[in-house]
């Protein structure tokens, strides 16, 4: 099975670590999309992803959830207040 190409949306510290707020990333499930993005954007980005919530098309997602072409995978880091 060929991997889908998802739209990765990054917010707050994830966007800062990656240097972009939006990218296309291949993967057949959420785990593959995030692993590919972590390889692309490096250790600082991977550390943010490790503590973030991930949603697909506006719904909470788990690592094994499948991804189809043009699905939106959003990385939502925790927000700290003061």
Share above pLDDT 90 across residues of the chain, in percent, rounded to a whole number: 90
pLDDT over threshold 90, residue 1: no
Share above pLDDT 70 across residues of the chain, in percent, rounded to a whole number: 94
CB within 8 Å of 60: residues ≥ 6 apart: 53, 54
* Burial of 9: CB neighbours in 10 Å, binned 0-12, 13-18, 19+: middle
pLDDT, one tens digit per residue, over 36-76 is: 999 999 999 999 999 999 999 999 999 999 999 999 999 99
The predicted structure's pLDDT at residue 79: 81
The secondary structure element, H or E, covering residue 75 is strand 72-76
Count other C-beta atoms under 10 Å from residue 61's C-beta. Answer: 22
- For residue 15, the enclosing domain spans 4-76
Give the CATH number, domain containing residue 71.
3.10.20.30
Query: Is 81 a domain residue?
Result: no
| Domain total in the chain | 1
Query: Is 27 a domain residue?
Result: yes
pLDDT band at 77 (very low <50, low <70, confident <90, very high): very high
């Amino acid at each position: 099975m060929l991997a889908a190409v998802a739209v990765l949306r990054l917010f707050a510290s994830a966007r800062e670590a990656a240097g972009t707020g939006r990218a296309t990333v291949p993967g057949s499930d959420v785990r593959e999309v995030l692993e590919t993005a972590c390889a692309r954007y490096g250790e600082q980005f991977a550390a943010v992803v490790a503590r973030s919530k991930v949603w697909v098309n506006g719904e909470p997602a788990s690592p094994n959830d499948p991804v189809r072409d043009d699905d939106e995978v959003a990385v939502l880091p925790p927000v700290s207040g003061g």
